[in-house]
Amino acid sequence: MGARRCGCIFSINRFASLRPYTPPTDVFETFRRRARCRLEEGGIFQLTMHPHIIGYRSRIWIVDELIRHAKSKGQGKDAVWFATHEQVARYAKEHAA
């Protein structure tokens, strides 16, 4: 599984004297690489994005770019499948060994 949360990468300790900050371009590159690895492994890339973290103008483009990147990675049976949790669960249940 590839569950990741955007808050872990964007985390900012607002009460620390030094605020760690990961630029959105670096966050995109991290997500893109994780998605690519999952695609190469034939696995699931699941990304949880919380609106109060990803929903800023300086960050929301990451979602668009990730979708664009994923859609460019295959056609037909090799295309990336965008699915809800329910659809993934149904698929797993129907294809269980």
User: Which residue is listed with tokens 């056609």?
Assistant: 75
pLDDT digits (tens, 9 = 90+) for 13-66: 555 556 667 888 998 999 999 988 888 888 888 888 888 888 888 888 999 999
Answering whether pTM is above 0.75, one says: no
The domain total for the chain is 1
Give the domain range for residue 50. 4-94
Structure tokens at 10: 């964007």
How does DSSP classify residue 48? E
CB 44 within 8 A of CB 88: yes
Q: What is the pLDDT of residue 2?
A: 46
